[in-house]
């Protein structure tokens, strides 16, 4: 933004505010309209021919508009990063950032949409009405358990990909890193015991993708302990989660009970796990403490009791970062004009990420860097292939 438009601002001189001055994105035309002939083709009268072609065959939208390469980034501002319910206006810098990441790492155009409602019905109705303008919907920072119903109903209502990144992006990258960590420690999915702290959006999605990957012994915990059906305080979402996880392997009790002898800990909850509890894990343990900015188990503590340690932070090795997943997932879905994002596509994305580590696999490298130029194309190709296998590709 030009200095003569905004000569100063309240936080001038502070690098993070200086970077955000005027926002982090803008629309840029791809058509040159600097001559009369070009203007006539790009707008009236020429554009009318394209409009008539689309009216006659809506599939022409795929060829002659930006819609199939554009994702709506939708939030209500109720679960923004680690900040919680800060509202739609305060959520905009995060949604702009998400759009920048879509473009940088996937070549996908993202449009931030911050809704001034937290009502489930209003959110669903609004997104459905907006859907003709987009090739896909990325739900972002919507609190649980509302996010589950919103995603499920939008997937039923729309024939374009709907993806809640807080759930599935986190789950994909977690599975990729865990697959390599299991290989490094000589474990198989079937013989691995996992504890997940946090029964919100990310915890539920991680549990489901680990089950799909063959891990059978999973205990998910919340503030009151293991989410199991012997408890009388469970919501319907947690009841369903209990039936898939702890009920299958007989786990119950406190977080400490779940930790005792566990092979893997995955934290998506915040809070702090006492070191004496961490010390009860199995030999060659795996700890993914992903709360930001403060991991549930600080890496210094984790390394005293685990062989492989990952966090959500960029200043430690093995960052579990959603940017490894969502740009490539949408790129792959858009490349084949997919009608949905399936579980098979998510697992394929995780497998592709894990494979990129290859022979460089080590305790400090179980997941590739977000800046590895192979990441986006590899994920996109794997997702496109999986879409064809799962029957949701339209080209």
Catalytic residues: 43, 98
Q: Which two tokens stand for residue 197?
A: 């702290």
Rounded to the nearest 10 degrees, the angle between the axes of helix 326-335 and helix 343-357 is: 120
Q: Which two tokens stand for residue 154?
A: 């939008």
Q: Which residues contact 262 (CB under 8 A, 6 or more apart)?
A: 193, 194, 195, 219, 281, 282, 285
Q: Which two tokens stand for residue 392?
A: 């949701």
Alpha-carbon gap, residue 53 to 249, rounded angstroms = 58
CA separation (Å) from 376 to 336, 366, 379, 380, 392? Answer: 15, 17, 5, 6, 20
Alpha-carbon gap, residue 208 to 214, rounded angstroms = 10
Alpha-carbon gap, residue 224 to 154, rounded angstroms = 31
Q: Which two tokens stand for residue 30?
A: 């791809």
CB 132 within 8 A of CB 68: no
CB-CB neighbours of 58 under 10 Å: 10
Tokens 């006539």 belong to: 40
* Radius of gyration for the alpha carbons in the chain, expressed in angstroms and rounded: 22
Q: What is the DSSP annotation of 2-25?
A: -TTTSS--TTTT-HHHHHHTT-S-
């Amino acid at each position: 933004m030009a200095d003569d438009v905004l000569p100063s601002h309240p936080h001038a001189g502070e690098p993070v505010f200086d970077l955000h001055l005027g926002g982090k994105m803008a629309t840029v035309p791809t058509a040159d309209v600097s001559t009369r002939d070009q203007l006539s083709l790009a707008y009236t009268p020429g554009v009318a021919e394209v409009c008539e072609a689309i009216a006659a065959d809506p599939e022409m939208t795929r060829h002659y508009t930006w819609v199939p390469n554009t994702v709506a980034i939708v939030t209500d501002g109720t679960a923004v990063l680690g900040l919680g319910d800060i509202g739609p206006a305060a959520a905009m810098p995060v949604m702009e950032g998400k759009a920048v990441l879509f473009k940088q790492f996937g070549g996908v155009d993202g449009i931030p949409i911050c809704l001034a409602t937290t009502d489930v019905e209003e959110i669903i109705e609004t997104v459905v009405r907006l859907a003709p303008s987009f090739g896909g919907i990325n739900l972002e920072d919507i609190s649980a358990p509302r996010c589950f119903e919103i995603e499920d109903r939008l997937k039923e209502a729309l024939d374009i990909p709907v993806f809640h990144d807080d759930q599935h992006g986190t789950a994909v990258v977690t599975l990729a890193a865990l697959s390599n960590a299991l290989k490094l420690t000589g474990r198989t999915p079937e013989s691995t015991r996992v504890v997940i702290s946090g029964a919100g959006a990310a915890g539920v999605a991680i549990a489901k993708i680990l089950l799909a990957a063959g891990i059978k012994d999973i205990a998910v915990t919340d503030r009151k302990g293991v989410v199991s059906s012997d408890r009388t305080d469970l919501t319907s979402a947690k009841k369903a989660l209990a039936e898939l996880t702890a009920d299958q392997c007989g786990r119950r009790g406190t977080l400490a009970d779940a930790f005792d002898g566990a092979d893997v800990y995955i934290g998506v909850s915040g809070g702090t796990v006492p070191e004496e509890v961490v010390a009860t894990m199995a030999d060659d343990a795996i700890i993914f403490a992903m709360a930001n900015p403060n991991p549930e188990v600080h890496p210094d503590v984790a390394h005293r009791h685990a062989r492989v340690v990952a966090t959500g932070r960029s200043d430690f090795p093995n960052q579990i970062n959603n940017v490894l997943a969502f740009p490539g997932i949408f790129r792959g879905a858009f490349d084949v004009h997919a009608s949905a994002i399936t579980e098979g596509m998510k697992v394929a994305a995780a497998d592709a990420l894990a494979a990129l580590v290859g022979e460089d696999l080590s305790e400090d490298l179980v997941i590739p860097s977000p800046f590895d130029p192979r990441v986006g194309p590899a994920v996109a190709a794997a997702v496109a292939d999986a879409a064809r296998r799962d029957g949701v590709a339209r080209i």
